[in-house]
């Protein structure tokens, strides 16, 4: 697998408590990478550093093996970008705006613009200032997809989109992926990342907390378990298990939360006669919240 984006000890500090700290992340060719974190975590800072809008305080970023600073022109020829805070020229129509971007990019067919606008049900004749937030976002999406770039960098791409359009967006991402393109998208909504991403990086307060496949992250998730035994059990029997917390023992009912492997818990429980076991299915949202709160601290 070819690496498309590689950051090496990338740091950016400005002001107080902002920016990113010693970030090492890798995005592979042909994957959809989800960059997750709460607002202000450093997602946009990472993206804007990769795009050479802002310069790293230390460390570096390589895109397609090229240096983000020195070779930004060559890099920009192969990428498209959708800003998180999309602002366009209010007086221009959608068509004028897209024509302008197409000219700046080069190699964009009118057909591509037309098709994307139709799929997203976007009226190109209206001036930008007359468009709702969702419709402005559609112009931004057409702009990002029309040039068929090798890497799409999308900052909070679904913000303002209604659910139906979101589905169309997911399809577009999937098509790009199937065509061998790479998609780097940031979000603070777990469910959409879980839906379309192959791998996820979680960032909080400028630090990368975890980076892994959705499946692996789920395997390391914190889940709650309820165990029902034939006889009452002593809390002490479970106290030695390192990766459990929130342990409550009520007679023959044991409730606890497990982070990561449940192996040790099950082996301990197997010493007693076990009547029933209920495991709460975790979704990524819980993992995500756990990382947010700082409950999980291991870095993959």
Partner 1 sequence: MLRNIFSKTIYERRRSLLWWGLGIIVLVAILIGFYPAMNNPETSEQLAKAMEAMPKEMLAAFGVTDVANLTTPAGYIQGRLFGFMLPLIVMIFTIGLGSRLIAGEEEARTLDLILAHPIRRSTIVWQSFAALSVLSLAMGLITWLSLWIGAVLLDMQIGAAELGAASFNMSLMALCFGAIALLIGAATGKRALSMAVATILAVIGYFVNSLASVIDWLEPLQKLSPFYYADYNQPLKHGFHYLPFLVLGSVIVLCGFAAVKLFERRDVAV
With CB under 8 A as the contact rule, the residue among 73, 236, 270, 281 that binds partner 1 is 73
Pick the binder of partner 1 from 3, 11, 26, 54 (CB under 8 A).
54
With respect to partner 1, which residue has the nearer C-beta, 91 or 267?
91
Choose one: 102-110, 230-238, 253-261, 271-279; the region binding partner 1 (CB under 8 A): 102-110
144 versus 284: smaller Cβ distance to partner 1: 144
φ and ψ at 39, to 5 degrees? -60, 135
Binding to partner 1, residues 173-232 (CB under 8 A): none
- According to CB under 8 A, which one of 9, 24, 55, 239 is a site residue for partner 1? 55
Q: Is 103 in the site for partner 1 (CB under 8 A)?
A: yes
Place of tokens 């805070």: 85
Beta-carbon contacts of 33 under 8 Å, excluding residues fewer than 6 positions away, are 5, 27, 182, 183, 184, 185, 197, 198, 199, 200, 201
Residue count at the site for partner 1 (CB under 8 A)?
A: 31
Using CB under 8 A, pick the residue from 17, 106, 125, 270 that binds partner 1: 106
Out of 30, 37, 42, 83, point to the residue binding partner 1 (CB under 8 A): 83
76 touches partner 1 (CB under 8 A)? yes
- Pick from 291, 286, 225, 221: which is nearest to 254 by CA? 225
By CB under 8 A, the residues from 34 to 53 that bind partner 1 are: 48, 51-53
Cα gap 231→124, rounded to integer Å: 70
Residue partners of 181: CB distance under 8 A and separation at least 6: 30, 148, 149, 150, 151, 152
Task: Check binding of 105 to partner 1 (CB under 8 A).
Answer: yes
- Counting beta carbons within 10 angstroms of the beta carbon of residue 276, is it exposed (0 to 12), middle (13 to 18) or buried (19 or more)? exposed
* Cα separations in angstroms, 163 against 92, 116, 160, 167, 198: 27, 17, 9, 6, 21
Question: From the CB of 19, what's the least distance to partner 1, in Å?
Answer: 10
- Output 96 or 226, the one with its CB closest to partner 1: 96
Comparing CB distances to partner 1, the nearer of 143 and 182 is: 143
| H/E element, 177 | helix 163-178
Give the integer Cα–Cα distance in Å for 36 and 28: 17
Phi/psi of residue 252, nearest 5 degrees:
-95, 5
**Is residue 89 a contact residue for partner 1 (CB under 8 A)?**
yes
- Which residues here bind partner 1, judged by CB under 8 A? 14, 48, 51-55, 73-74, 76-77, 79-81, 83, 85-89, 91, 96, 99-101, 103-106, 143, 153
């Amino acid at each position: 697998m070819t690496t498309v984006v590689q950051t090496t000890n990338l740091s950016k500090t400005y002001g107080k408590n902002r920016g990113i700290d010693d970030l090492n992340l890798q995005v592979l060719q042909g994957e959809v990478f989800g960059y997750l974190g709460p607002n202000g975590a450093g997602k946009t800072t990472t993206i804007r550093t990769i795009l050479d809008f802002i310069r790293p305080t230390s460390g570096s970023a390589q895109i397609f093996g090229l240096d983000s600073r020195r070779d930004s022109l060559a890099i920009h020829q192969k990428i498209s970008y959708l800003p998180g805070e999309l602002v366009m020229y209010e007086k221009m129509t959608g068509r004028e705006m897209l024509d302008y971007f197409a000219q700046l990019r080069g190699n964009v067919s009118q057909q591509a613009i037309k098709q994307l606008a139709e799929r997203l049900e976007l009226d190109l004749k209206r001036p930008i200032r007359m468009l709702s937030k969702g419709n402005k976002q559609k112009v931004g999406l057409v702009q990002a997809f029309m040039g068929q770039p090798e890497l799409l960098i999308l900052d909070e791409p679904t913000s303002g989109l209604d659910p139906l359009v979101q589905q169309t967006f997911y399809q577009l991402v999937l098509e790009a992926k199937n065509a061998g393109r790479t998609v780097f998208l940031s979000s603070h909504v777990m469910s959409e990342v879980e839906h379309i991403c192959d791998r996820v990086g979680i960032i909080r307060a400028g630090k990368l907390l975890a980076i892994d496949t959705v499946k692996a992250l789920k395997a390391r998730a914190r889940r709650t378990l309820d165990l029902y035994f034939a006889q009452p059990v002593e809390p002490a029997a479970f106290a030695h298990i390192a990766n459990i917390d929130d342990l409550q023992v009520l007679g023959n009912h044991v409730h606890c939360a497990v982070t990561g492997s449940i192996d040790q818990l099950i082996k301990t429980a197997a010493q007693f006669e076990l009547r029933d076991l209920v495991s709460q299915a975790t979704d990524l949202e819980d993992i995500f919240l756990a990382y947010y709160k700082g409950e999980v601290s291991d870095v993959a």
